[in-house]
Amino acid sequence: MIPNVENIELNKGHSFYVGTYSAKYFERSWHYHNEFELLLITKGYGTRVVGDNSSLFAVGDLVLIGGNVPHAWFSDPIFFEPDNNEHCESVYIQFDRSIFGTRFSGLPEMKVIQNLLNKAKYGLRFTPNNLDVEIVNLICDFPNYQGIDRLIYLIKVLDLFQKGNYEPIVSQDYFDSIFVTKSNRIKKVHEYIMNNYMADVSVQNAAKLAEMNVSSFCRFFKKVTHKTFSQFVKETRIDFAQQLLINTNLSSNQIGFECGYSSVAYFNQCFKKISGVSPLEYRANYKKI
C-alpha cells in the first residue's frame, strides 16, 4: 500500500472525470486529491477509511468527499483468497468546484448545492431514503452520459444528495488539526510524509519544503497539528500498519518493514504505544468483530 497525492487528468472535451472500477479487490490505495469525489459501491464490501474514520462498507455505500481529504477502500480479506470468485466495482465522479463558474454557482437555485459542497470538507455518507433508487440509478448510468447531460446530471445527483439524509464522516478535530488546512506549507509537508513514509522521513527535508529552518518549522508544525513532527510520522506509519494488519495476510514483521521500520522491536514498541496492543493482538481483535 503506497499512499500518494493523486493528480486527476481530464479527458479532452470534459470538465470533470467519471470513472468505473472493476477488479478482484479494491487496490487499498490511500490517497487524496484537490477535487471533490462522489463514489458509489456497486459490488464488494470491506472497510472504508476517510480521514480519521474507519467504517464498514457494502453495495450501495455512497459518499461525497471534499478535496484534500485522504481516503481509501479496503476489500474484506475474503476477496484476497485464491478461490474467491467475487469481485469489486464502483462508479466515481471527480470534479472541481470551479466547473460551476462564479455567476452560475451564485444563483439562488444553486445555494443548497453550494452548502452541500461546503459540508463535504468533512466527507459525507449518504443514508438511504425514498430517493436512494433514483440517485443510485443516475450514478450507475453516468459513464453513458455525454455532452451537456453530464453536467446537468451531476447537478441533479448533488441535488438528490442534499435532499436525502447524510452524515459527516471526518471528525472536527481531524479536520482542524491535520489534513484539511489552509496552510500550503503543511500541505507540502503532508504530501512529503505520505509519499515517503516507507523510507526515511527527514525533519530537515520537511523544513526545507516549508521554507523554514528546523527549529522554526518544529514550532510551526506543532502549533498547527498539536503534535511533534516525529509523533505525526509515527502515527502515520502505525495507521498504515493497522490497515495492512486488517486487510492483508502479511506477517507483522513484514508490515513493520513496509511501513518504514528497520527494527522489528522498535515497530512493535511504537505500535503498542499508539494502538494500546501489539500488532498480533490488534489483528486478532479485529477478526473478532
Q: Specify the pairing of strand 62-65 against strand 124-127.
A: antiparallel
pLDDT per position as a tens digit, 239-275: 888 878 887 788 999 999 988 898 999 999 999 999 8
> Which triple of cell numbers denotes residue 255?
508490515
Cα-to-chain-centroid distance, residue 141: 24
Taking the alpha carbons of 140, 146, 150, 156 in that order, is the dihedral positive or negative? negative
Distances (CA, A) of 114 to 147, 166, 269: 23, 15, 46
Question: 0.75 cut: is pTM over it?
Answer: no
Longest dimension (CA), the chain: 60
The pLDDT value recorded for residue 34 is 83
Burial of 73 (0-12, 13-18, 19+ CB in 10 A): buried
Q: Of 98, 129, 14, 113, which is closest to residue 64 (Cα–Cα)?
A: 113
For the segment(s) 183-288, the CATH number from 3.40.605.10, 3.30.300.20, 1.20.120.160, 1.10.10.60 is 1.10.10.60
For all residues of the chain together, what is the average pLDDT?
85
The pLDDT value recorded for residue 3 is 38
Cα distance between residue 62 and residue 42, in whole Å: 9
φ/ψ region of 46 (left if φ > 0, alpha if ψ in -120 to 50, else beta) reads left
Name the CATH superfamily, with its identifier, for domain 4-173: Regulatory protein AraC (2.60.120.280)
> Which triple of cell numbers denotes residue 163?
435532499
Task: Render each residue's pLDDT in the chain as its tens digit; 289 residues.
Answer: 333 556 677 777 789 999 999 999 887 677 888 899 999 999 999 888 888 788 889 999 999 999 888 888 988 888 888 888 899 999 999 999 888 887 887 889 889 999 999 999 899 999 866 557 889 999 999 999 998 999 999 999 999 999 988 999 988 777 665 544 445 677 778 778 877 888 889 999 999 998 899 999 999 888 877 789 999 899 888 888 887 888 778 899 999 998 889 899 999 999 999 989 999 998 888 765 5
Q: Do 4-173 and 183-288 fold alike per CATH?
A: no
- Spans of all domains in the chain: 4-173, 183-288
